[in-house]
Chains A and B, each alone.
Chain A
Amino acid sequence: MIDSAILEAFFEECEDLLVALSDGLADMRDGNADSETVNAVFRSVHSIKGAAGAFNLDELVGFAHTFETVLDELRANRLSTDDTLLRVLQRAGDILADLVDAARDQVPADRAQVDPALSELQSFLGTSVAEEEEFVFEALTLSMDGPERLGSYLIQFQPGRAFYATGNDPALLISALQDLGPVQVHAETSGLTDDLTSLQWDEGYLTWKVELADQKNDLAIRDVFQGTSIFDLFRNDEASASACSVYWNGLAARFLCQA
């Protein structure tokens, strides 16, 4: 449910951002297109887009995204501020303001005005804009004969320096696994030495082995280590990776995961 007070605050913020956008574009027209000015213009559009998305204002988000992309190309010096671009940016600023008004008044946008401005912006992007790669984590898929049946998993992971350096805690992972079913937890301490003074405070020396019973499949386990669809736990590179091994009834499925 949309909070009406926050929505109203959003439109008030848009007014301020549109003023900043207009001021920035005016400076650019006057010959002042330094990085600070271009960044300020970019952030105005970026902020409108970011907040509009929270209220499902799709027409506004869509136009702002293209507008923002052109500005990003400009601030990366892949575009230059010639008269044509400045004219297009000015028009885009006007259209963005119209789209904010339409969203506030809950009326459809005037596509007869929006679409030409959108096409003009897109003409600066051409076909060379690289596709952004989504960060994708893939686990090995187990092939199972027959219907799913309950089994026990042995999960083994050894947190490394990068794991701790990014604010993670193995206790929280183990707690999350405990929420999935009966567990037995064992800490392998062979990585420790008798000389405590040689240990680094930010290094990991323990290997955790968690036996988790009564699981239909590995999906919930992957979720503990991978996170939700909108949240990526960062994956360490191979050199510093904390390899996570999961065994299902004797079959091995190895996850290279952040834990």
Chain B
Amino acid sequence: MSAHILAIDDSRTIRALLTSTLEAAGFAVTTAVDGVDGVEKFQSANADLVITDVNMPNKDGFGVINDIRSGAVNRAVPVLVLTTESGAALKNRARQAGATGWIVKPFDDDALVSVIKRLTGA
């Protein structure tokens, strides 16, 4: 069974790019439009890995990570932060929240797939 990825980003273009790249690599993909939608879908998605943007309305990426890491289900799922920012302070904040890794946009398709395969064992 292919790994299931939950991709959370308020940009429909980024959601489309992630879906296209990951489905072409054989992953199943569920998308969410912001942090609130993402946390809701996480409860039922049984995701093997979560990708989340940082800057989103309603609940940002750090809020998503905090909710996942303190939740009742699947709290140890790998979570990748996907953002245009690369500052050390922000990375530290993501680490403190419990993110597994950090990917800078624009992402390289092959590198992203390789990392996800490594983290999910796919």
Contacts and interface: CB of A to CB of B under 8 A. Distances in A.
Tell me whether A and B are bound partners: yes
Max chain B CB contacts within 10 Å: which of A39, A54, A165? A54
Nearest to B97: A166
A176 B114 CA distance: 11
Category for how many chain B residues contact A: 35 or more
Interface string B93-122: 011001111111111100110110011010
B103 to A, nearest CB: 6
Given A9-B12, A53-B84, A228 B55 contact: no
Contacts of B71: none
Nearest to B85: A132
Interface string A8-21: 01100100000000
A43 B83 CA distance: 12
Nearest to A53: B106
A209 interface: no
Given A40-B57, A171-B121, A231-B111, A50 B101 contact: no
B96 to A, nearest CB: 10
B41 interface: no
Nearest to B94: A234
A51 B11 contact: yes
Interface residues of A, number: 40
Interface string B39-59: 000000000010001011100
A196 interface: no
Contact of A228 (B20, B94, B95, B115): B115
Interface string B67-102: 001000000111110011111100100110011111
Contacts of A182: none
Given A132-B86, A135-B91, A169 B13 contact: no
Contact of B55 (A46, A171, A234): A46
B17 interface: yes
Max chain B CB contacts within 10 Å: which of A40, A50, A167? A167
B13 A43 contact: no
A43 B100 contact: no
A17 B20 CA distance: 22
Contact of B13 (A6, A164, A231): A6
Interface in A5-37: 6, 9-10, 13
Contact of A166 (B16, B20, B78, B114): B78
Given A42-B55, A166-B78, A228 B111 contact: yes
A232 B91 contact: yes
B14 interface: yes
Contacts of B101: 227, 231-234
A37 B10 CA distance: 17
Interface of B: 10-14, 16-17, 20, 49, 53, 55-57, 69, 76-80, 83-88, 91, 94-95, 98-108, 111-112, 114-115, 118-119, 121
Q: Which 10 A-B pairs rank lowest in CB-CB distance, beginning with the nearest?
A: A167-B78, A132-B87, A51-B13, A53-B106, A133-B88, A10-B13, A234-B95, A54-B106, A167-B100, A166-B100
Given A46-B55, A54-B13, A132-B85, 8 more contacts: A43-B57, A46-B84, A135-B86, A165-B69, A165-B98, A166-B78, A172-B118, A231-B112
